[in-house]
Structure 1
Amino acid sequence: MRTSPEITLPLRLGEQNEHSTIPVQLASEFRRLISETVLSPGDVVPSSRALALHLGISRGSVVAAYDQLLAEGYLVAAAGRATVVNPQLRSVQAPSRERVRATAAVTSSELDLRPGRPWSRDVVGAAWKSAWRQASAVPAEDTVPALGLLELREAWTEHLRRMRAVVRDPSQLAVTGGGREGLSLLLLALAHGNPSRLRVGVEEPGYPSLRRVPARLGAMVIPVPVDEQGLRVSDLPTGSEAPDLLVVTPSHQYPLGGSLPIDRRQLLLEWATRHRVVIVEDDYDSELRYASHPLPALASLDDPSDGRVVLL
């Protein structure tokens, strides 16, 4: 009689965040085991049926967690073969957070997220209209900090921590009038006001609106190839041919729709560090997922104090 191998993985469900769903907790535990090298590249993971029986949870919860890890590139699977930890995966180390100020978790009220039912309770009605009239009657504040209101940057810091796994201090954030203005300001800052000196890599094909920004500022635009998984990191130029700055869409490549797997993300960060390239992560549509949870931002893998990624 065929038996399943004994499962010895130290999976701890419910200890970190008991309010998270079982699939979210399970996926997080696998990331932890991979980060701590308990699971190494190429290791076979238990079957969904065996793991569900071992943990006393539904098989659907295990399948959902595996689907998320497959989407992120931590696991790979093929028809007729066991699911394994991505053989191309490098060791994953959590970024240093010595200089990052800890922020407390903030609970949110329930929202009706059923399709076709917009949330309008808090933005429609007499109270909203009255608050809007009062706010518009107050003289505009002319002493706003250059980086934006501190309260707004603190709110964005908390949002990035909870939704994109990016832990930063509010002093590391700047509020702009959109992605194009943010990229323009970054190019001007890097080139000390003369962006025509810069070489800017853009995905080919890529999002037309954002890739027109460096050209309008006089920078040299360098197309870089993509495939169904996003940026082809192995084909990036090196040495003197490497750009000063590279604009990428790792969570949802436009227009092909691919998500950059974890092994390519690690290679991209290594390439950027080696060639001193600034990576601009265009994080558009990153939270709009249908088959899995949002992928962690590329910036979440970068060092918060001495990294190469700017999250747009």
Structure 2
Amino acid sequence: MRKPVNRFSPINPSSREPIYRQIYSRFRSAITDGVLAPGERIPAARALAKELGLARGTVDTAYALLTAEGYLQSRGQAGTVVAQGLNVQATRSREAASLSPVSGAALRQKSPVLPFQMALPALDEFPRKIWAQIGARCVRATGVAQMANPSAQGLEPLRSAIAGYLHLARGISCQPSQVFITSGYRNTLTLIVHALLHPGDRVLVENPGYPPTRQVLEYLQIGVQSVAVDQDGMQVTQAINDSCGARAAVVTPAHQSPLCMSLSLPRRLQLLEWASREQAWLIEDDYDGEYRYVSHPLPALKSLDREGRVLYAGTFSKVLFPGIRIAYLVVPLAQVERFEQVAQTFLGGVPELTQAIVATFVTEGHFARHIQRMRKLYGERRSAVVKGLSNALGEHIHIDAQPGGMHLILRLTGPQSDRALVERLRHAGIYAEALSECCIGAQTHCGLMLGFANIDSQASAERLGQKILALL
């Protein structure tokens, strides 16, 4: 049974209107406006009188009047509720709707997932049953200590699990103390800036690149200098020649965001040499490095770091699901103490229960098996989507060849605004992102970015491709 609610404006003791009439008026308005729903329990007269500092008889009088007029109904020991069958307003104000009691399903209701939605793994293939079982076990194991404030750095078992996974899967040798749990990439980047940079510092970023990187840096008053990319990733020679005292560089070595090529080994070594020589920092955003289809996943840039200049940013959003809001950062050993100090102010936003579920999911081997399954599945779905879109769109598009990742890039062969096309697609219920939105300065790339992980067949891709064709 829901708890009784008290949602009406405060009593005005200086008003000429009797207090019992004020209580009556406020309840009546709440009922007729739909703020209090039929069947909803209201506070007991004694409880409300105590809360408002009134004599109980005053509240009893107001309740009696509301009951006599049919607004309330007494149910004995079950309390007093709003009467059923009242003709209340069908439309609530936004504020009233936000205060109304809603079911758990309504609270979690979201807009539907659109075809080709970016940054979205294959949610239809996620092992929800295993996840639910682990979640139930973790809830039952919750004790007093687990209900206190979480550690700013993150749950130790999860940090240990991540360190072990990175050692085996990404070639990164690190200790659990070097791992910091964050609530997403933006939170990770913000933590790095607060720990290592100062307003006015300059940072090298890829162009085209991931727009939130530039947005976060600029918001934190960090200067951004763009560096072009080619088939081998960031043009490091240009970056070094134009660096002019840059304090850091943000790179996506495994799959450049958004073009998906990999940073070549000579350029990786060149970038590490520059960072060591200039005492600069390299921020490696490894957002989906697990998903490479032409060969085994490449070792992380961090695995080549011998001078402690690379900060490795990973996430569970792409490999599990975005709603989990858990990411992590691996910092150089010499910087652990500094990050611990900063984390006390800027971290601590990830529920410990969720961290415990992820830690168990990893340590029991489910995570590694899930990655293996998804790598195979995504390779199959990528091929199916490419064939389906090619059949439907033919000469109107060219699909970039990419070694990995979770999205495709469709180049438009005719002169057309990718941003305008994205708007038309969204209105038709198809998700896409404009490649030009990723460019800094003059637009050098035009096309559509489409996530393929949730497209389950070639036939589905072909049907969607026909809808896209109609909007070209």
TM-score, structure 1 as length reference: 0.56
Deviation at 1:123, TM superposition (A): 2.3
Q: Match of 1:219?
A: 222
- 2:163 pairs with one of 151, 154, 157: 157
Counterpart Cα distance in 1 of 2:167 and 2:286: 14
Q: Is the alpha carbon distance of 1:129 and 1:288 closer, same or farther for their aligned partners in structure 2, counting shifts above 3 Å?
A: closer
Work out whether 1:189 is the aligned partner of 2:195.
yes
Q: Residue 268 of structure 2: SS of its match in structure 1? A: helix
Structure 1 residues 188, 249: CA separation in 2 closer, same or farther (over 3 Å shift)?
A: same
Give the one of 200, 203, 206 matched to 1:200: 203
Count of paired positions: 192
Q: Choose the corresponding residue for 2:154, options 140, 148, 155.
A: 148
CA displacement at 1:276 relative to structure 2: 1.5
Contact 1:204 1:223 in 2 (8 A): yes
C-alpha displacement at 1:237, in angstroms? 3.5
Q: Tell me what 2:302 maps to.
A: 299
Cα pair distance change 1:133/1:141, threshold 3 Å: closer
Corresponding residue to 2:176 among 139, 156, 170:
170
Shift of 1:261: 1.3
Q: Which residue of 2 is the match for residue 309 of structure 1?
A: 310
CA distance in structure 1 between the partners assigned to 2:186 and 2:304 by the alignment? 24
Report the counterpart of residue 105 of structure 2 in structure 1: none
Give the helix-richer structure, 1 or 2.
2
Q: Which residue of 2 aligns with 1:236?
A: 239
Shift of 1:176: 1.0
SS at structure 2 position matched to 1:224? strand
RMSD: 2.6
SS at match of 2:182: coil
Q: Which has the larger radius of gyration?
A: 2
Task: Give unpaired runs (5+ residues) of structure 1.
Answer: 1-113
Report the 3-state secondary structure (helix = DSSP H, G, I; strand = E; otherwise coil) of the residue aligned with 1:274: helix
Report the residue type matching 2:290 in the other structure.
E
The alpha-carbon deviation at position 130 of structure 1 amounts to 4.0
Amino acid corresponding to residue 298 of structure 1 in structure 2: L
| Paired AA for residue 268 in structure 2 | R
Specify which of 274, 281, 286 is matched with residue 284 of structure 2: 281
Deviations 1:190-225 (A, max 9, x none): 13xxx3131111111101122211101111111111
- The amino acid that maps onto 1:308 is R
Q: How far off its partner does 1:133 sit?
A: 5.2
- CA contact 1:201–1:243 (8 Å) conserved in 2: yes
Matches within 5 A, 1:1-312: 117-124=125-132, 127=133, 130-131=136-137, 134=140, 141-191=147-197, 195-238=198-241, 241-303=244-306, 306-312=307-313
Give 5+ residue unaligned stretches, structure 2: 1-121, 314-472
What's the offset of the Cα at 1:145? 3.2
Kept after mapping to 2: 8 A contact 1:148/1:174: yes
**Aligned residues: percent identity?**
40
How many Å apart are 1:115 and its aligned residue? 12
Query: Is this contact kept in 2: 1:244–1:278, CA < 8 A?
Result: yes
